[in-house]
Amino acid sequence: MSLRRSLDSVLDTTLVGYTRIGHTVRSRGFEDLPSMAGSTVVVTGGTGGIGRAAAQRMARLGATVVVVGRDADKIGDTVAAIRDAGGDAAAERADLSLIGDVKALAGRLLARFSHIDVLVNNVGVLLPERTVTSAGLEATFATNLLGHFVLTGLLIPRLVESAPGRIINVSSGGMYAARISSDLESRHGEYDGKLAYARTKRGQMILTEIWADRLADLGVVVHAMHPGWAKTPGVRSGLPLFHTVTRPLLRTAEQGADTIVWLAAAPEAGESTGLFWHDRRPRNPHRLERTKETPEERAAFWRRLHDYAGWQDPLA
């Protein structure tokens, strides 16, 4: 094992690996990314933090980036910044916690873009109190999991038509402490915002593996990634104490976004599927045996999401 890989392994077993120190050490071996000219990339949550940083960098690599967000002013600001820097960007407004919004967004994307090469499922929320959307669903589940499930399902045919394609799910180290629950909307017991968030991230990993299996022969790869501990508005608002304590060690949004862009652009990332990545290397999606779901739990989770989405699994 090379010294670089040995050091990476040491970082991977400590929390230091998630900090800016971990990224600084590992990035010494990172290669430049290739051009993404001609690619169309959809980024949810593309107006701030890691999503915005990823969108801007992919635009600098030549991609046409579709910035999806809820706030029209923030979308406009992000698109303008990309264009001012010489990149190509398009704006799409949608609230991913609302299935109606998601379905309408997918319809517009399919009508507007003849090919979609990369989908980055990035938007996420961590809420201190249980919140219900105007459609009657718990907001963390609806935003972090169901919205991306619906959007991805509706865009998969276009991604297949545009193959080779890539789906990138932005997860979190929080998933290491949680397993999927049948109580997807946190209806029972005292609400724990961190646990609800972690469960949705565990759910994203399950979807990554299921989609990877189903798309393996269709030219579309699916990956999940952990950005590390990054200094973003979401961390500041969702985890204020954590943000205060770890502020000197937090990564920049650009450092957190690096693996997203690598997964979207690097040829090596197209040679595998269904993996969990951090700092451009695949990592174990489980650190604790108790977070592993049974095949029956996985199948039930898959069926429940189809029930929420209002469609049947075409491959069931």
Could you report the per-residue pLDDT of 66-78, keeping only the tens digit for each? 999 999 999 999 9
Query: Domains in the chain and their CATH numbers?
Result: 3-309 (3.40.50.720)
CA angle 175, 103, 63 (to 5 degrees): 70
Can you list the residues of the chain whose pLDDT is less than 70? 1-4, 6, 10, 232-247, 314-316
Q: What is the pLDDT of residue 222?
A: 98
- Point out the residues that are catalytic: 197
Collect all residues with Cβ–Cβ distance below 8 Å to 58 and sequence separation of at least 6: 36, 39, 41, 43, 65, 118, 261, 264, 265
Q: What is the pLDDT of residue 241?
A: 57
Answer yes or no: are the C-beta atoms of 184 and 289 closer than 8 Å: no
Q: What is the pLDDT of residue 236?
A: 62
